[in-house]
Structure 1
């Protein structure tokens, strides 16, 4: 039906520009924090930065200006790296915001167009319908059985009916359309709206940290406390021995700096933000950072049938007339009775159709009718989709007061409200079974007559005449078989939750190789289960039909009670509660309602479930790579700590083998390795054939932590061996320091290569596509060469040029202290 049926033309393009020029954009503009200053404040509070500043000050006080300037420069460098990583993360998240911009429909130049909500202007004719979130305040000028949920403003959960004749004929930004359709003239936008006026309170709300963020934050805090305790102990011991405040302070600061794993929170933020950005480039919009964490743990995905498993390209396939018991192909509609069935089905649809079936009915009506009556009749009452099973009824009237009352819905619902004898019921049920078993979506069609204007409160109170059935075919998506197999291989169970009947759903499920198509459960059967029966029954059943919001929510909660990590797809208003309850709520970008998108934590832009396989893979990859990065940080920190502490504690010949400048050098090398190389690592080939990782309260299990600790101790053994080798061969302090430092750098390089996988060999991982590995390792080795062979650097850092044989020895020790883990990986592969 044309949009100008309501005689609303809306603004012209020139009027839109004039209104925007005068009144601005439809955005809530509150006091914004200066993100750059925030980042600087955050950096200033970092324990490592504080230690660097203290150490720099000590050097300046003691007259060692060169070292003081170097550490002051290191503060600037650390701050620059942190700001760069912070800006990368923020830029990635800002780009995501552009994609999650809500949209709305307006009438402009006499046509319905979809625009970004921020492009609304005062005076626009805003069209809102069931499932949309209202984008601005406005005054209703036309409505069909319109109701709104205003709980965001009033706290009242029940929906409110509104139309242009009532005292309250206004709509408000942020509220949700519960049913029907309305057109309103926009009266307020942005901060001038009712929501905008109270929105200042939103400024003080802080985002909660994710579980993984809390775990990492706790780990870093513990290390900071440990560093502080060790710092005080070492300072006290050294002061007791030397009675020099500044010298003992430098030694204590060196150790404290070596303990702090400040790269870990930077790595976490970078991985999560860039992970969300990578997902966005794949057409998957992540609205919350915690979703990136949870993706790799998903154990069950609950999917809708229509539009998720099927194409959502509803084409009318068959008609059944009760009067003659005849099933006809939609291409062969000839008789008046068949045309009349189509006519009634169209009148039972929305005047401006947005559902695929209703669009198809309008198109078939237009092709089969000799006289299009849509312009002549006006909807005077609407009963929205309701009941179990659901149905909907529309009442139209023309100027001559001729009335059409048409209904359509689940065939079982119509059987219950029609005047039918037992024979007719059996005939209809036989036709339903025949059509459904072939995979058709079946709807019943009926009509009734009613005089007067005091319509019943419920559509079920009418007594309808059953006219017939219409059957739609929505073919399965071409890639759905492969998508299901990918989920099954990844250890993820798939369950279908649909409003359709069991026969149709089972027929489609069988076609696509769906596991567990033999058993199904209806919404009413589910609600009748006791709490004791519910959890196991839901877990054992894979097809749920004739579902409604309460039943969907019960399924999600039952699976969660079974300790499953649940993802759920949805697109309608009724899916909102279940999407919100699921660990990962997935809305469809194209056919999803704004309410569904708002409730979901993830949006598939192309409505393609295959994207969800990619999302799970990306979630697993991000988590695995983050774990590799943090294991690397732990492994490489241990030798730094012990190489500083052991010579000092045991009174070896050169107790101050490393000073703060050497520790910060190592930190600057390690930072890019963990947050650049590992973040860019490709997914390992066995990632999607493993079972989902358990969603536990701990980031590492003891075995993984033990691996990192043992790797760190082996590197420590290597660096201390290099130390003793140098002393044994009579090398002076500078040469010993250069040999030990070089050994640590080589061990760092080999550890990076070995830890790219904790399962596959280094020969396999060398073939992985990650150009940054060669770049970062190349820069590291050039950096080491500069320190060893350029005299000003060598002298400043207290090194001495090493011979090629000494460099070979340090490289060999570094290699041996790491490469042993390849035997462990080899044993793992053998056992598999």
Structure 2
């Protein structure tokens, strides 16, 4: 039995690889040996991650500190209910637990769609493979391939395992999903002289890639998790998924609120215990209930659920705009993205090789239109003239180039389901597309009949075909590397004539090729001659490399994978919003730099950092390079991951886009991974947090805009919720501290008295918090959110200025509420009150509820007047009206009076409550006027303003 291969197969001779693996390349393994090795090495499959059980997913949802705090509050409420005698039902605890359950269900439903990314890799690569077994070709499931198997490869095959090429004839393999390079790679059995990047290992074929042309035979060297795709699966499995900025901030706020609540509750309960000296069990129950009331007052119970609902609504809006977000918290992350790392092929480019320029002896033309749709025309380069207006010589030469390139061609172009698709080599297909842009040329191509072909080989770097023309002539048509082709040419086409190819003309034509290469074009030369050696009646001549002599050079084409037309505009908009765009690709550095310059990612002439250069950098050096470089080329999957990690270490919030298997680990590691929905593999779709349904880079920018709007709205309802809860906490705190000053102790009689009942506080949270907060979650955009830079990673969702506003509103709410209580109670600071404790408490309770509703309008902006765009959010008005109506009901409906300890109020009580509650609005208006004046003064003092 063969041991695992103990050498690098790319650096060893194919015969040595076969010897080490114990296989005869001409007969393959025996069936028995294959079965034995399958038992030893296991199936050729990628290891999947076991599904997470439901109970663990639920526990994950419950780990949030805010949710934990709510659970503690519910537990204390239950304990207090039991100590009090367990009469009735523990309403407080039930409601809090219901809110938690609602939030857990939303989270589970949203995240149940995200399947395991490594399992998707396994599904993606299920295929059949043709192998030599017992000297005969057999088709076996790719999962049964073993080291030492001899693969037979042909056009259209999926490569089932990593293998060392033993022989090849014009073999070309597309490795875009693995390396990111769009053009097929020519394969050659010749051993490599040294270690090279994955995309340059021309003597190896890899699992998950596809054969686009030629044939070959290869010896399997690695299967399953030992393959290059397996390495990506391992990297993906080990990649840690970071918490989003919003999750981190909400956790921080929850922890902060928890400490505040515990501190205040303990201080007040100890103070009461020391001052009041409770002597009865009921007194201790009251103190404990007060602690629960403070906990309920301080914690916005509805925050997790409201946050989930607002994010879910944002997800729905984004889905309508072709951005499918898989995790709710990722919506906000988009808004804070400061860097978008994007793959080139298929993301910024069409992933459709296109001829854009043709150079002949008489000049050059540009071909318009991109992709495989044959829409466009040829226009004289540097002139505003169509090809029909060019010289007859140039027209003839261009038609000859595209005609010959379309005939010496094994690709096919067809329209299926309204979409143009190709079969075969994308570079060859580019000739078919360009040829159809010249009127009548496609008919001429169809009229010719192929007689024979000398296939492409990496040694010759060219291919040729023999075609019988309708006029009876037989033409030899060749295309290949321009420098190689020119060596076989003796003449050059000038108009309808073949002129001798002298040294000066040859040098000029080679200069044109160099110019195209410098502009990042892939170049292919085309040549032809009349085949006098093939008789007029000969229909199947023997192909002969000797045909490729004394050729007439027709011209050269420049081919490129063109940028998406919408990408440049989207990148410019991202830059305007302070979002940097970084290109990371496996393609050639020159091509990457050219595309980056065309799209505005980097200035013309910028250096593309290569994978080799990255390998030589330490982590700190890489951070410095990542800070200034925006173009990376010839990179491997691990390089992409390092770049993302370096940007994150530099304090950036990173969005990573991609479509290939090689992008998956970086997508998972990034703050927000974005996969292409059309061209993307299932692996990237599963590893990503967002999928673009239209593969449009502009959709990412629209998603960033939506994310920023959502974040602004999150700040609005956070400001509102915390203002409301701050008002409740301060009311309870100062109500206890000032219990004798406001007349509350006298009205309470024996025992310990509190300003508001726990059920009333819970009512405030449910009535005034939920509906207005939800309405603010869909508040229309106020200012242009894309006119400002992204939020910094250290910038708090709730910053110092916001806490100042929360404190100001909370103090005003508490003052108005306690003033109302003092006003209606006998004694206290304000004389004249004659109402009972129930009426006074109801008036204070109503003042606090209405004050919270007024505060909703303040919370829409930290600086703008509440009267600006006052009626822009009709949902908010509806929520406020609903809250006011419910408060009327709880005050005047008898069953609710019993449940919440309220008493009916007359019109005068209501009028005073409304007037006191409105103080929140006026105090904040004055504060905002001061803030705006300060901002204007600060702006006027900046150097730019003075200039």
Both structures adopt the same fold (TM-score exceeding 0.5): yes
Confirm or deny that 1:794 pairs with 2:892: no
Shift of 1:375: 12
Question: Match for residue 692 of structure 1?
Answer: 790
SS in 2 for 1:471: strand
- Residues 823, 804 of structure 1: alpha-carbon distance in 2 compared, 3 angstrom cutoff: same
Name which of 709, 719, 724 aligns with 1:631. Answer: 719
**Once the 2 structures are TM-superposed, how far is the Cα of residue 557 of structure 1 from its aligned partner?**
6.4
Structure 2 residue corresponding to 1:299, chosen from 338, 361, 364: 338
2:524 is equivalent to residue 444 of structure 1: yes
Whole-Å Cα distance in 2 between the matches of residues 374 and 578 of structure 1? 47
Map residues 292-441 of structure 1 onto 2, 5 A cutoff. 292-302=331-341, 315-320=354-359, 339-344=403-408, 346=410, 353=423, 358-362=428-432, 367=442, 369-370=445-446, 424=506, 427-431=509-513, 433=515, 441=521
Q: Secondary structure at the residue paired with 1:603?
A: strand
Quote the Cα distance in structure 1 between the aligned partners of 2:522 and 2:327: 38
Do the aligned residues in 1 keep the contact of 2:597 with 2:604 (CA within 8 Å)?
Answer: no
**Aligned in 2, Cα 1:397/1:597: closer, same or farther, shift over 3 Å?**
farther
For residues 573 and 30 of structure 1, what CA distance do their matches in structure 2 show? 21
Match of 1:683 in 2: 781
Equivalent residue in structure 1 for 2:848, among 739, 744, 759: 744
User: Compared with structure 1, are the counterparts of its residues 417 and 90 closer, same or farther at alpha carbon in structure 2 (3 Å cutoff)?
Assistant: farther
Structure 1 residues 781 and 750: alpha-carbon distance in aligned structure 2, compared to 1, 3 A threshold: same
Alignment CA distance shift 1:523-1:57 (3 Å):
closer
Of residues 564, 571, 578, the one that matches 1:491 is: 578
Is contact 1:348–1:406 with CA below 8 Å preserved after alignment? no
Larger CA deviation: 622-631 vs 784-793: 622-631
Q: Corresponding residue for 2:708?
A: 620
Q: 2:102 aligns with which of 79, 84, 103?
A: 84
Counterpart of 2:319 in structure 1 is 280
Structure 1 residue 487, shift from structure 2 partner = 2.2
Tell whether 2:737 aligns with 1:649: yes
TM-superposed CA distance for 1:62, in Å, is: 4.1
Are 2:656 and 2:670, in contact at CA under 8 Å, matched by a contact in 1? yes
Inter-partner Cα distance in structure 2 for 1:422 and 1:559:
51
Measure the CA separation in 1 of the matches of 2:77 and 2:422.
72
The SS at the match of 2:868 is helix
Cα distance in 2 between the residues matched to 1:417 and 1:251: 97
Return the offset for 1:229. Answer: 4.8
| Structure 1 counterpart of 2:28 | none
Which residue in the other structure is 2:254 paired with? 220
Offset of residue 374 of structure 1 = 9.1
Residue by residue over 1:455-512, the C-alpha shift from the partner in whole angstroms, topping out at 9 and shown as x without a partner, is: xxxxxxxxx99985323577765655643443233223445667478699769956x7
Q: Aligned partners of 1:790, 1:798: CA distance in 2, in Å?
A: 11
Flag the 1:774–1:149 CA change in 2: closer, same or farther, 3 A: farther
Question: Structure 1 residues 638, 576: closer, same or farther in 2, change over 3 A?
Answer: closer
Match of 1:761 in 2: 865
Q: CA shift at 1:273, angstroms? A: 4.7
Q: Which residue of 2 aligns with 1:249?
A: 288
Shift of 1:784: 0.4
- 1:389 — aligned with what? none
SS at match of 2:871: coil
The 8 Å contact of residues 593 and 607 in structure 2, kept in 1 or not, is answered as no
* Aligned-pair CA distance for 1:768: 2.8
Identify which range, 750-759 or 230-239, moves more after superposition: 230-239
Q: CA deviation at 1:316?
A: 3.4
8 Å CA contact 1:321, 1:467 repeated in 2? yes
Instruction: State how 1:659-674 maps to structure 2 within 5 Å.
Output: 659-673=757-771
TM-superposed CA distance for 1:664, in Å, is 1.6
Cα separation, partners in 2 of 1:138 and 1:594, compared to 1, 3 Å: farther
Give, in angstroms, the shift of residue 261 of structure 1. Answer: 3.7
Aligned to 1:520, what secondary structure does the other structure show? coil
Per the alignment, in what secondary structure is the counterpart of residue 817 of structure 2? helix
Report the counterpart of residue 499 of structure 2 in structure 1: none
Which runs of 5 or more structure 2 residues have no equivalent in the other structure?
Answer: 1-47, 131-140, 146-150, 164-177, 180-185, 188-205, 216-226, 368-377, 379-386, 388-394, 414-420, 437-441, 467-475, 491-501, 528-550, 745-752, 940-947
Deviations 1:640-678 (A, max 9, x none): 122222232333332412222122212222441465223
Decide whether aligned partners of structure 1 residues 700 and 355 sit closer, same or farther in structure 2, where only a CA change above 3 A counts. Answer: farther
User: How far did 1:256 drift?
Assistant: 3.2
Q: CA deviation at 1:715?
A: 1.7
Moved more, 300-309 or 792-801: 300-309
Change in CA separation of 1:204 and 1:797 when aligned onto 2, cut-off 3 Å: farther
CA drift at 1:614? 1.3
CA-atom RMSD in angstroms: 5.9
**Per-residue deviation at 1:734?**
0.9
Q: 1:520 and 2:606 equivalent?
A: yes
Equivalent-residue separation in structure 2 for 1:234 and 1:433 (angstroms):
81
Distance 1:303 1:813 in 2: 55
Query: Matches of 1:673 and 1:762 in 2, distance apart?
Result: 18
TM-score by length of structure 2 reads 0.62
Structure 1 residue aligned with 2:802: 704
1:734 matched to which residue of 2? 838
Partner of 2:299: 260
Structure 1 residue 737 displacement after superposition:
0.7
Question: Which residue does the alignment assign to 1:453?
Answer: none
Call closer, same or farther: CA 1:354–1:58 in 2, change over 3 Å: farther
How far residue 692 of structure 1 moved from its aligned partner, in angstroms, is: 0.9
Q: Which has the higher helix share?
A: 1
- CA separation in 2, counterparts of 1:574 and 1:122? 19
Identify the residue that residue 919 of structure 2 maps to in structure 1: 816
TM-score with structure 1 setting the length: 0.69
CA shift, 1:609, in A, is 2.1
Q: For the residues of structure 2 that align with 1:522 and 1:801, how far apart are their CA atoms? A: 76
Decide whether aligned partners of structure 1 residues 97 and 640 sit closer, same or farther in structure 2, where only a CA change above 3 A counts: same
Q: Distance in 2 between matches of 1:570 and 1:61?
A: 59
What is the Cα deviation at residue 735 of structure 1? 1.4
Deviation at 1:89, TM superposition (A): 3.8
Please tell me whether the aligned partners of residues 626 and 647 of structure 2 are also in contact (alpha carbons under 8 angstroms): yes
**1:122–1:317 CA distance, 2 compared to 1 (3 A):** closer
8 Å contact from structure 1 (residues 586, 600) kept in 2: yes
> Alpha-carbon deviations, 1:546-579, whole Å to 9, x = none?
6555887787666556544444444456656765
Q: 1:611 to 1:123 in 2, by over 3 A?
A: same
Whole-angstrom CA distance in 2 between matches of 1:220 and 1:692: 24
Q: Is the 8 A contact 2:358 2:366 kept in 1?
A: yes
Q: Does 1:775 align with 2:886?
A: no
Q: Deviations over 1:496-555 (max 9, x none)?
A: 667478699769956x7x48644422446994998899877776666x486555887787
- 1:128 aligns to what? none
Q: Report the structure number with the largest CA radius of gyration.
A: 2
In 2, are the aligned partners of 1:220 and 1:262 still within 8 Å (CA)? no
SS at match of 2:355: strand
Matched residue pairs, number? Answer: 721
Distance 2:288 2:652 in 1: 52
Mapped partners of 2:488, 2:321: distance in 1: 48
Shift of 1:742: 0.8
Alignment check: 8 A CA contact 1:433 1:503 kept = no
- Runs of 5+ in structure 1 lacking a partner? 1-26, 105-115, 126-134, 152-156, 163-174, 184-193, 384-391, 448-463
Instruction: Please give the alpha-carbon distance, in whole angstroms, between the structure 2 residues aligned to 1:30 and 1:270.
Output: 26
Match of 2:208, SS state, is strand
